[in-house]
């Protein structure tokens, strides 16, 4: 089987499995009011989420006009196509450096009227260390950082660098949003310096 064919079948299987599993979850949203108000007012946000909690959060924000940064390696291609099947726009590459092609692509998506999403510790870690890309994108676009996390009453954990979370069938999944946060800065360098503060905010949101 060709590589393209392998990816295609992996995507089909992944989409089927995620939909079958996620439709059994009992999902509760905590502190979703400020996000709803921002969307009503046309204020754009950039979701900041830890890579290990990506799966339930992809499901939670499906079909909500969000563009997400996904890495360019082979596994990233599968994740990107699954995300697109759930209604996301995807931007390929790493957002860890302020001048990266992926970060520029994300800013264009936000300027076009979409919300954004970044895993600031992805695609390879270190786990739960906030790289500056999200802060720089927020500074350049005026979007607000929306810290978002997930936890599940019952879940599997992969033996990966991020201990990837997969809620089990019929799990109670709680999605919590932190305060929408602006990045006020005078330059991209100053914006990047906000990353440790944003990490503290994200870590304060209840998660797994």
Could you give the residue ranges of the DSSP H alpha helices within 42-143? 54-60, 74-85, 101-111, 133-141
Say whether pTM exceeds 0.85. yes
Q: What is the pLDDT of residues 108-134, one digit of tens each?
A: 999 999 999 999 998 888 999 999 999
What pLDDT, on a 0 to 100 scale, did the predictor assign at position 201?
A: 98
- Residue 1, pLDDT > 60, answer no
- Cβ atoms within 10 Å, residue 6: 12
* Residue 175 and residue 149 in contact, taking contact as beta carbons nearer than 8 Å: yes
CA distances from 16 to 98, 105, 156, 172, 202 (A): 35, 29, 18, 20, 31
**How is residue 62 written in tokens?**
């499906």
What pLDDT, on a 0 to 100 scale, did the predictor assign at position 144?
A: 98
Least confident of 1-5, 67-71, 72-76: 1-5
The closest of 87, 99, 97, 32 to 59, measured between CA atoms, is: 87
Per-residue pLDDT, averaged over 21-47, amounts to 98
What pLDDT, on a 0 to 100 scale, did the predictor assign at position 96?
A: 58
Which SS3 state, helix, strand or coil, does residue 64 take? coil
Could you give the residue ranges of the DSSP H alpha helices within 125-173? 133-141
Burial class (CB in 10 A: 0-12, 13-18, 19+), 36: exposed
Listed by start position, the domains of the chain span 3-204
Q: What whole-number distance in Å separates Cα of residue 67 and Cα of residue 76? A: 15
What pLDDT, on a 0 to 100 scale, did the predictor assign at position 154?
A: 98
Q: What is the pLDDT of residues 56-71, one digit of tens each?
A: 999 999 999 999 999 8
| Secondary-structure percent of the chain, ordered helix, strand, coil, rounded to 5 | 40, 20, 40
Phi, psi for residue 189 in degrees, rounded to 5: -65, -45
Band of pLDDT at residue 184, cut at 50, 70 and 90: very high
Per-residue pLDDT, averaged over 139-166, amounts to 97
């Amino acid at each position: 089987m060709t590589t393209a064919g392998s990816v295609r079948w992996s995507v089909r299987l992944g989409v089927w499995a995620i939909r079958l599993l996620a439709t059994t979850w009992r999902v509760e949203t905590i502190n979703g009011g400020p996000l709803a108000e921002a969307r009503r007012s046309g204020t754009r946000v950039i979701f900041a989420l830890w890579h290990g909690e990506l799966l339930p959060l992809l499901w939670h924000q499906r079909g909500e006009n969000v563009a997400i940064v996904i890495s360019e390696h082979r596994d990233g291609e599968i994740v990107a196509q699954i995300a697109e099947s759930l209604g996301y726009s995807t931007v390929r590459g790493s957002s860890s450096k302020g001048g990266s092609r992926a970060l520029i692509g994300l800013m264009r998506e936000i300027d076009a009227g979409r919300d954004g999403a970044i895993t600031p510790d992805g695609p390879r870690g270190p786990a739960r260390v906030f790289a500056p890309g999200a802060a720089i994108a927020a500074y350049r676009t005026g979007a607000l950082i929306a810290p978002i996390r997930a936890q599940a009453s019952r879940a599997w954990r992969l033996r990966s660098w991020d201990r990837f979370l997969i809620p089990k069938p019929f799990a109670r999944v709680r999605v919590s949003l932190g305060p929408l946060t602006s990045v006020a800065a005078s330059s991209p360098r100053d914006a990047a310096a906000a990353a440790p503060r944003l990490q503290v905010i994200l870590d304060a949101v209840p998660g797994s």
